Amino acid sequence: MIYSSMLRLIKLNSRNCTFQCKQSNGMSTMNEERKSGAGKMLVTMLLLAAWPASRASDWVQVGPAASIFEEDTVAAKYFVDKSSIVQSGALYKAWSLTSFARERTLDDGSPYLSVKTLNLYSCQEHTTTLRSNVYYADSMGKSAPVRSVRYEKFAPEDIVPDNAADHALRIVCAKYVAELQAAAAAAKAAAKAAAAAAKAATKAAAENAAATARAAKAAAAAAAAASSAPSQDGKWGK
C-alpha cells in the first residue's frame, strides 16, 4: 500500500515536471537539470523512507559513539540493526544508527539528528568499509530522510579496539563465529560418525572372518567323519 501510494506520487511529480519543462522554453538547461536532479532525489528519499516499514528492525545499542564523533562525547548513541545482518561473499553487511542529542548540519546547511550507515564488515580481517549514509531530521531515524549518500570508492579500514565500531563488529560477526562453531561441531560429529562406522565395519569383518573359519573347520570335521565311517559293504573308508 505504501509503495503503491509512493509510485502514484512519483508518477504525478514526473508528469508535473514534464508539463513544466514544456511550458518553460525560456528556462536554462541548468534549471532543467536541477529539476531532474531534485526529482531523482525525491524518488530516492521516498523509497528510503518506506524501506524500514518493509521489515521489522532490531536495533541493539552498542554504546556511545564518542570514539567516532568526538565532538559529541556523551550526546551520541550508537546502534546496530541485528535483523539487517546478511552475508555478502566473505563479508557481512549491516545497518547501524547514530542518534545525536544535539542538532548537526550537512554541508548544504540541512539539519539532522541521526544517520543510518551501511557498512561491510570483514570478520577475519577486523575491518569495515563504508557503503552509504542516510541522514534524518529527527533522532533515531524517525523522520523522512534529509539526504542519502552512496559511496563506491571507500577502502576497508581497520577497526580500533573497544570503540563503537568494534562492538558493532562483535555483534555482526557473532553470526560468523556461530557458523564457524557450528561447522566445527558438524565436522567433529562427522568424524566421530565415520570413526564409529569404521569400527563397526572392522568388527563386522572380524566376525565374518571368524564365522568363515568356524564353517571351514566344521566342514573339515564333517569330511573327516565321512571318510572314517563304514561304507554300505561293511568296509571302512580310507
Q: Which residue has the cell 528556462?
A: 27
Cα dihedral 128→109→17→53 (10° resolution): 50
Per-residue pLDDT at 219 exceeds 60:
yes
Q: Which H or E element spans position 234?
A: none
Type of residue at 90 = A
Are 135 and 113 in contact by the 8 Å Cβ rule? The answer is: no
The yes-or-no verdict on residue 230 having pLDDT over 80 is: no
**Which of 20-24, 194-198, 203-207 comes out lowest in average pLDDT?**
20-24
DSSP structure class, residue 236: B
pLDDT band per the 50, 70, 90 thresholds, residue 47? very low
Q: Where are the beta strands (DSSP E) in 18-143?
A: 59-64, 76-81, 86-88, 91-105, 111-122, 127-136
Q: Over 90: is that where the pLDDT of 56 sits?
A: no
Answer whether 168's CB lies under 8 Å from 81's CB.
Answer: no
Residue 215 cell numbers, joined: 564353517
**Does the global pTM surpass 0.85?**
no
Tell me if 178 sits within 8 A of 149, measured CB to CB: no
Q: Which of 46-55, 71-80, 177-186, 228-237 has the highest average model confidence (pLDDT)?
A: 177-186
At CB < 8 A and 24+ separation, what contacts does 198-201 make?
Answer: none
How much of the chain, in percent, has pLDDT values that exceed 90? 33
**pLDDT recorded at residue 55:** 59
Among residues 172, 158, 199, 189, which one has the least CA distance to residue 93?
A: 172
What one-letter code names the amino acid at 136? Y
pLDDT at position 225 over 50: yes
pLDDT tens digits, one per residue of 112-133: 999 999 999 999 999 999 999 9
Closest of 59, 48, 122 to residue 87, by C-alpha: 122
Band (pLDDT 50/70/90 cuts) for residue 109 is: very high
Neighbours of 66 (CB within 10 A): 16
**All cell numbers assigned to 69:** 564523533
